[in-house]
């Protein structure tokens, strides 16, 4: 796994980062001392004998498994140049940046481009960068550090201020190594983690650890002040209602082609995920225009009882249209279960399922795929979730919501979700209730000793935006895209890095994001018809069978497994969770009794919660 981590000293401390274990890092070590950066390859950090900790402002940095010869991560340190850079990630608009900045070296690394771009544009550079990245910059002219995260939210920067020193890393484990940051539970983070795949950023489930939000940067000045600024916000104000169906489809098609073309300019051994739906087949089809030897990856289940859930036959229809090398791998529950411990560690925060994306990343590695394209973020940008079809009903029934709240729970998961959404006061609460695995009323019973918490306020606080004048469809899509970095992106990037695979996300190209927000809401979602414009583009390229409503996706049958092969494991793990002071034994029993045959996600969320406690808190 690659990444950055470091300490920016705001005190007179002499502590350093302990070495990471083998599965997380090692590699280049660096030390900033005013105007100098010393690269110490696989050596212990040596402090200068005459170094004055009281008057110098410095940092200790580690960039592990970064290669200056590739586009996936690089450093730029030149004693004669005032800007030093470490970067984990990629830029897709390097050619235009080189021309705009006026760099003579056509083979300049990503870090050199960023360093010289920052020299010319200062922090105005950040909005010009198109890619996925976590960046650390030292401006030696002003003795100022910058930590920068991409606008798509693919790469992460987590940080903690401990004893007046800022410790940061591109994954949470890198902060916890060695105990400089304590692995303690944040109660509000725990409350939200029980509902969602992750608490809404910048919150995490760990006390005193925060995530830098997408499109933001931390600035640490010479006076040791710390400020967080946004260089980009979700563009809610660019929707163009006058666009026609054709204009919208043409714009989206052109921006996706351009995105994929940019992203295929570097690297080799390209692959793509391929489902039986719309998003990944479209990316695969467009990718085949630029790479004739594309490997398409599909996973399925080997159990004959579950074979009806597989999408490989439908996926093969699009693969055959473009002569892709279509690789289908079938897994049993035993295959998946033996990697569960590793999944929990890579998840870092309590997940909601056995991770199909873990195995897709593993397949990519097994098939020698180096660059893996996917369709993530299409649902969030184009309305791919079923909650939209209830919006009009919810709005019309708001006056009688007090009656709806008395609807009984446990009859069916769909009815429960329906009732909880219709109890919502506004669109933020509608989103929160709809996307919560375990609902607010269930959490109050599950954690009776926790004082006055709710996820509604967290969503409104962290996903704050002026949506009062927005229609319900656009507002709901805003919340979905705001949450995008907290679920599949976060985990998929972790999994692919774990297996040494570079993931690329065409839907998170800067121009694709802007184009998507320009498309009118009624050309994305109309009643229960979703992804209207995206499907208009896709129908030119993919098998017509993939355009239907019955997409299965890469989901795994957790409900079936917890009642069969994983039943004993599930019950044993829940019994261990009951011993923790946070939770009510009766509430855990009630969730299992009510939902183990109806909503496996609720039960499995509790299982993953206990496994997270064992991995990160009990150690």
Q: Give the pLDDT confidence of 509-531 residue by residue, as tens digits.
A: 999 999 999 999 999 999 888 99
- Residue 30, pLDDT score: 31
User: Domain coordinates of the chain in residue numbers?
Assistant: 3-230
- Residue 67, pLDDT score: 39
- Residue 414, pLDDT score: 58
What gap in Å lies between CA 51 and CA 11, rounded to an integer?
A: 14
* Helix (H) / strand (E) containing 359: helix 356-366
Q: Rounded mean pLDDT of 138-166?
A: 92
For residue range 56-86, list pLDDT tens digits in order: 344 545 444 433 434 445 788 887 899 988 8
**Which one has a higher pLDDT value, 350 or 179?**
350
Q: Over pLDDT 70: what percentage of the chain?
A: 85
Distances (CA, A) of 195 to 134, 199, 352, 446, 609: 28, 8, 9, 12, 11
Are β-strands 158-162 and 165-169 bridged in parallel, bridged antiparallel, or unpaired? antiparallel
Please provide residue 48's backbone torsions phi and psi, each rounded to the nearest 5 degrees.
-70, 140
- One-letter-per-residue 3-state SS of 512-568: HHHHHHHCCHHHCEECCEECHHHHHHHCCCCCHHHHCCCCCCCCCCHHHHHCCCCHH
Q: Rounded mean pLDDT of 342-356?
A: 88
Please provide residue 139's backbone torsions phi and psi, each rounded to the nearest 5 degrees.
-95, 105
Residues in the chain, how many?
Answer: 619
Q: Which pair of structure tokens corresponds to residue 253?
A: 């098609």
First-to-last alpha carbon distance for the chain, in angstroms, is: 22
The class level of CATH for 3-230 reads alpha beta
Q: In what order do the strands lie in the sheet with 270-273?
A: 325-331, 295-301, 270-273, 371-373, 502-504
For residue range 425-479, list pLDDT tens digits in order: 888 889 988 889 999 889 999 999 887 688 888 888 888 777 777 889 999 999 9
> What is the chain's mean pLDDT, rounded?
85
pTM metric for this prediction: 0.90
Residue 606 has pLDDT above 50, yes or no: yes
pLDDT confidence bin for 46, thresholds 50/70/90: very low
What gap in Å lies between CA 21 and CA 167, rounded to an integer?
A: 18
Residue 269 has pLDDT above 70, yes or no: yes
Residue 9 has pLDDT above 70, yes or no: yes
Q: Which pair of structure tokens corresponds to residue 47?
A: 């402090």
């Amino acid at each position: 796994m690659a990444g950055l981590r470091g300490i920016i000293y705001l005190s007179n401390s002499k502590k350093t980062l302990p070495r990471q274990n083998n599965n997380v890092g090692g590699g280049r070590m660096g030390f900033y001392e005013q105007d100098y950066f010393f690269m110490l390859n696989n050596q212990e950090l040596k402090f200068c004998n005459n170094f004055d900790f009281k008057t110098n402002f410095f940092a200790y940095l580690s960039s592990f498994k970064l290669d200056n010869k590739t586009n996936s991560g690089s450093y730029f340190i030149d004693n004669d140049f005032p800007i030093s850079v470490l970067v984990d990630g990629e830029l897709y608009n390097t050619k235009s940046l080189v021309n705009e900045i006026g760099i003579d070296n056509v083979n300049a690394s990503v870090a050199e481009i960023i360093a010289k771009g920052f020299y010319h544009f200062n922090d105005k550079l950040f909005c010009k960068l198109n890619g996925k990245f976590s960046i650390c910059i030292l401006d030696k002219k002003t003795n100022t550090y910058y930590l920068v995260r991409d606008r798509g939210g693919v790469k992460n920067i987590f940080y903690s201020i401990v004893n007046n020193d800022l410790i940061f890393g591109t994954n949470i484990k890198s902060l916890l190594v060695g105990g400089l940051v304590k692995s303690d539970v944040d109660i509000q983070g725990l409350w939200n983690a029980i509902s969602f795949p992750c608490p809404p950023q910048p919150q995490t489930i760990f006390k005193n650890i925060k995530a830098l939000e997408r499109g933001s940067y931390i600035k640490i000045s010479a006076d040791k002040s710390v400020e967080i600024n946004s260089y980009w916000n979700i563009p809610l104000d660019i929707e163009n209602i006058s666009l026609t169906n054709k204009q919208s489809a043409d714009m989206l098609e052109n921006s996706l082609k351009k995105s994929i073309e940019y992203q295929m300019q570097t690297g080799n051994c390209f692959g793509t995920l391929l489902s039986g739906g719309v998003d990944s087949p479209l990316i695969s089809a467009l990718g085949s225009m630029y790479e004739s030897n594309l490997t398409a990856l599909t996973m399925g289940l080997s159990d004959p009882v579950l074979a009806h859930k597989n999408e490989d036959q439908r996926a093969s229809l699009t693969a055959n249209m473009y002569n892709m090398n279509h690789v289908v791998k079938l897994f049993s529950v035993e295959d998946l279960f033996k990697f569960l411990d590793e999944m929990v560690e890579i998840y870092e925060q309590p997940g909601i399922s056995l991770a199909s994306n873990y195995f897709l990343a593993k397949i990519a590695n097994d098939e020698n795929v180096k660059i893996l394209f996917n369709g993530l973020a299409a649902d969030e940008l184009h309305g791919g979730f079923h909650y939209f079809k209830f919006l009009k009903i919810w709005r019309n029934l708001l006056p009688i919501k007090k009656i709806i709240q008395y609807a009984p729970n446990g009859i069916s998961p769909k009815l429960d979700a329906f009732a909880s959404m219709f109890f919502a006061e506004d669109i933020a609460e509608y989103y929160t209730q709809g996307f919560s695995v375990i609902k607010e009323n269930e959490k109050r019973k599950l954690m009776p000793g926790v004082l006055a918490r709710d996820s509604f306020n967290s969503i409104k606080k962290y996903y704050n935006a002026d949506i009062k004048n927005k229609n319900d469809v656009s507002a709901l899509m805003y919340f979905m895209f705001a949450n995008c970095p907290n679920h599949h992106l976060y985990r998929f990037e972790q999994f692919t890095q774990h297996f040494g695979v570079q993931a690329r996300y065409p839907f998170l190209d800067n121009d694709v994001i802007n184009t998507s927000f320009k498309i009118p809401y009624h050309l994305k979602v109309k009643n229960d018809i979703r992804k209207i414009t995206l499907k208009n583009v896709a129908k030119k390229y993919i098998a017509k069978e993939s355009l239907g409503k019955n997409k299965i996706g890469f989901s795994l049958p957790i409900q079936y497994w917890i009642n069969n092969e994983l039943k004993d494991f599930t019950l044993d793990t829940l019994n261990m969770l009951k011993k923790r002071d946070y939770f009510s034994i009766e509430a855990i029993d009630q969730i299992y009794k009510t939902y183990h045959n109806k909503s496996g996600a609720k039960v499995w969320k509790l299982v993953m919660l206990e496994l997270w406690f064992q991995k990160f808190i009990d150690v």
